[in-house]
Amino acid sequence: MTVPPRRPLTLRDVSEASGVSEMTVSRVLRDKGDVSEATRARVKAAAKRLGYVPNRIAGSLASSRVNLVAVVIPSLKNMVFPEVLSGISETLAGTGLQPVVGVTDYLPEREEEVLFEMLSWRPSGVIVAGLEHSEASRAMLVRAGCPVVEIMDTDGDPIDACVGISHRRAGRTMAEAILEQGYRRIGFLGTKMPLDHRARKRFEGFTATLARAGIEIADREFYSGGSALAKGREMTRTLMARSPDLDFLYYSNDMIGAGGVLELAAQGVEVPGRVGLAGFNGVELLDGLPRQLATMDACRREIGQRAAAIVAGRVTDPDLARAATEELTPRLAWGDTLRRR
């Protein structure tokens, strides 16, 4: 059954919620006119709570939508997202829809700013990375009045449509493979995870699976900032100096994992016999490493393609039923750093 999107909010909604006139609301939201600070604060709080976004399309076009698809991602430095964007662009080609990209740097307040700006132009659809949003961002997405597709993750409750993988399942799958090969002294190297929700979920799935086998992470090393080969080398060197009896290193992404491959090769450590390694993402750029890192392909291009297809389909036929969660299955690539007995 078709569920029509919630209508975009109007000045009247904000007026009723804040208890002031529409004219006062307009003045506050345009930063015009003489309005008291108390009233200004009340109006802005009501607008944020409701998820109100102004309509920047003027005149007779004000009830229409532009042929843009807002794509909101955390980073362009992370090699994961350009491939997602490629999948989106490929699928939208020839549909008359154009993707426009906003970057949040993994910051909830930045996501609010990006969504506010993009939604004010009334895009035909929104594709946004992740399922975790601030209350203000979630309110704006709920009231967007167009298809909203959250991507990369399925471990949560989507606002509308959702395409991605279960990161908890990905963590479980990797832990099972490591345990099956007899590794027991396992170290973890990765990002500090308060804002990287998908890395946190993989870690949760990974550690829960180890715990069921009676094993705990033996040591761990965290970093902040961008992923890089140099950071991976440094972290690997630090962790192995502190815990030389580790027999496996699990990295939260392939880039720091590649640094681990290079560092252990420089130290003359036998891989995967003495120490095994695995990462996550299946980054093709790393195919030239002296040893191919064990990893999981996160289905990035396919996620982009499917998300764009949902938006394009519902723009073409508004009567289409809302898409359910589409969960893809990440593939384990054994590489040369995870032994197979």
> Over the stretch 238-273, which tens digit does the pLDDT of each residue have?
999 999 999 999 999 998 999 999 999 999 999 999
Say which CATH number the domain at 11 has. Answer: 1.10.260.40
If asked whether residues 3 and 148 sit together in one domain, one would say no
pLDDT in tens, 104-124: 988 999 999 999 999 999 999
What angle, rounded to 10 degrees, do the helices at 254-267 and 229-242 form?
Answer: 60
If asked whether residues 149 and 88 sit together in one domain, one would say yes
If asked whether residues 172 and 268 sit together in one domain, one would say yes
Look at residue 4 in the predicted model and tell me its pLDDT.
42
Contact indicator for 256, 231 with CB cutoff of 8 Å:
yes
Q: How many domains does the chain have?
A: 3
Look at residue 341 in the predicted model and tell me its pLDDT.
77
CA dihedral sign of residues 75, 81, 84, 85: positive
If asked whether residues 183 and 130 sit together in one domain, one would say no
If asked whether residues 193 and 274 sit together in one domain, one would say yes
Residue 58 lies in a domain: no
Residue 38 lies in a domain: yes
Domain that holds residue 278: 167-297
Report how far residue 67's alpha carbon sits from residue 99's, in angstroms, rounded to the nearest whole number. Answer: 9
If asked whether residues 134 and 282 sit together in one domain, one would say no
The share of the chain scoring above pLDDT 90, in percent, equals 64
Contact indicator for 19, 42 with CB cutoff of 8 Å:
yes
- Give strand pairing partners of 100: 70
CA angle at 64 for the pair 58 and 70, rounded to the nearest 5°: 95
Residue 336 lies in a domain: no
| Residue 52 in this model has a pLDDT that exceeds 60 | yes
Say which CATH number the domain at 202 has. Answer: 3.40.50.2300
Residue 337 lies in a domain: no
If asked whether residues 126 and 215 sit together in one domain, one would say no
- Backbone dihedral angles phi then psi of residue 195, each to the nearest 5 degrees: -110, -15
Stated length of the chain: 341
Residue 129 lies in a domain: yes
Secondary structure in 3-state letters for 54-120: CCCCCHHHCCCCCCEEEEEECCCCCCHHHHHHHHHHHHHCCCCCEEEEEECCCCHHHHHHHHHHHHC
DSSP 3-state of 37:
helix
Look at residue 63 in the predicted model and tell me its pLDDT.
53
Residue 93 lies in a domain: yes
| Residue 3 in this model has a pLDDT that exceeds 50 | no
Report how far residue 221's alpha carbon sits from residue 227's, in angstroms, rounded to the nearest whole number. Answer: 14
Residue 215 lies in a domain: yes
Q: What's the rounded mean pLDDT across residues 174-199? A: 91
pLDDT band at 27 (very low <50, low <70, confident <90, very high): confident
Look at residue 97 in the predicted model and tell me its pLDDT.
95
If asked whether residues 76 and 110 sit together in one domain, one would say yes
pLDDT in tens, 31-51: 777 788 888 888 888 888 887
| Residue 329 in this model has a pLDDT that exceeds 90 | yes
